[in-house]
Structures are given as structure tokens and as C-alpha cells.
Amino acid sequence: MAKIERIVKGDFHSIAKRIHDAILKESVSATFEDVSEYHTDGLDFTFRVYERYSYTGGNRVSLGFTLVGTNNIYKLSVITSGGSQAAFFKINTWGESAFLDTIRDVINSL
């Protein structure tokens, strides 16, 4: 597992779109799997899940991000998972870290 968490400021939809576009642009095999969104009384929430093939691990890796907050201040949490081929413990996390690295610059620019 690899993880980045930040407090970010800006327009909710613009932030979510920048992250979404970066994931799909920076990884040829990335696919957008699904989304759950909720908006009420000024609170904005989205949870999105992506997958891609990990060349380094020889398997598929997932990335999920949550963006939640109000008044243009949001908590962003991005977590990757998968990539290990062991049955009971992780023997590598290269694919997870590599997937997260594809959007690290975009996250740091928010």
C-alpha cells in the first residue's frame, strides 16, 4: 500500500477532474472503475477507483481517492493497493508506489 494525504484548496469539481485526468493520461493501462459522489448542504464528497496493469509486478493494481470537504477546503486521500503475488504477505509494493507516483506532481500542485 502507498498513500498520500493532503488538505487542498480550490473548486471541488476542478480538483477531482485534474486528478482523474492525470491518472488516465499518465498510465496507458489505467481504467476508471467507478465513482460514488454525494453533495449536500455545502458538503462535497467523491470516492473514485481506478485500476492499471503493473509492468513491474506483472499484475493489476488499484488506486482509490477520496475528496471531501466544504467551502473550497478539502481533505484528499489517495491510496493504492494490490500488486503483490504472495498468498499471506506482501513481497513487493513496486506497482503500488509506481501508480501513485504517476499523479504525485499533480497532487503536490494543488
Q: Report DSSP state, residue 77.
A: E
Cα–Cα dist 67/45, whole Å? 6
Give the per-residue pLDDT at 15.
Answer: 98
Q: Which residues of 74-93 are buried (b: 16+ CB within 10 A; e: fewer)?
A: bebebbbbbbbeeeeeeebb
- The domain ranges of the chain are 2-109
Cα dihedral 67, 56, 29, 31 in deg (nearest 10): -30
Question: Could you tell me which CATH class the domain 2-109 is placed in?
Answer: alpha beta
Mean pLDDT over 21-25 rounds to 96
Percentage of the chain surpassing pLDDT 90?
A: 67
Average pLDDT, the chain: 90
104 vs 56: which has the higher pLDDT: 104
Q: Residues 82, 60: contact at Cβ < 8 Å? A: yes
pLDDT single digits (tens) 64-99: 999 999 999 999 999 999 866 665 566 566 788 888
